[in-house]
Amino acid sequence: MNILEILKVIIIGIVEGITEWLPISSTGHMILIDELIRLNASTEFKSMFMVVIQLGAILAVVVLYFKKLNPFSRGKSSKMRRLTIELWKKIIIACLPAAMLGFLIDDWLDAHLYNGFVVSMALIIYGILFIMIENSNKKRIDSIRSVHAIDYQTALFIGFFQVLALIPGTSRSGATIIGGMILGASRAVSAEFSFFLSIPIMFGASLLKLVKFGFHYTAAEVVYLLLGMIVAFVVSVFSISFLLNWIKKNDFKFFGYYRIGLGLIVLVWYFVSSLMG
């Protein structure tokens, strides 16, 4: 363990904290950042590390929305407790498709899809979709303007969109936000529900990676994990606030253009690396 590796972990944590919540693909950025600043650790540890530090980002949602997500918060009426419990049921239902499929094909995804070409294509395709959806929604009146107004069927359909995020470069938040908007939810509701879906899905993904890696770490690996999670948590608090403020005044087309631009850069980088390799 040295200062350079600590700085790498901090950078990775910052990237995770920013990209986990913005619809620009955290997994895609994490793959790319690993190509640029390779952490001096085993391949197995890095594969686990890149997923588990997302727990820090997820804890930011838990902290920021603790009262809203806790059915037993003081001051809540019996009706709000019931609505909160129902919201959790909808969250679990929405997480089932991606959780089940992810468990079955996790190793295959790692072996075949975690590369620059797949990331670039996903960035570009979903960037175009964001722009198309925003253009088509200019005059639409949103039918769902509260997370509590999402019914069980809509929650399940949003969960099917989340399955698309198993492809690196797609963006879990991006896929679920697009799904929510297509199904009639406002940008704010789609983003908020996407935040909530991250809690069980990322806890599950992290647990799966931890079990596969085994619970044997060097002192340096423990420091890397804890530091990465702490940095991701702090940055996530600001990222979530930024996104919620952004969508009050802006649409998602900026992120669509960003994805397309980044995707083209990654595509060129991938082909150049392939030719040189």
Task: Answer yes or no: is pLDDT of 259 > 80.
Answer: yes
Measured distance CA(86)–CA(92) in Å, rounded: 10
pTM of the full structure: 0.87
Q: What is the residue-wise DSSP string for 11-32?
A: HHHHHHHHHTTSTT-HHHHHHH
Chain mean pLDDT for the chain: 89
Rg of the chain over all Cα atoms, to the nearest angstrom: 19
Instruction: State the virtual CA torsion across 133, 136, 141, 146 in degrees, nearest 10.
Output: 0
Instruction: Note the pLDDT of residue 155.
Output: 97
Task: Answer yes or no: is pLDDT of 153 > 90.
Answer: yes
Measured distance CA(82)–CA(120) in Å, rounded: 43
Which residues, 6 or more positions from 271, have their beta carbon under 8 angstroms from its beta carbon? none
Measured distance CA(140)–CA(137) in Å, rounded: 5
Higher pLDDT, 211 or 194: 194
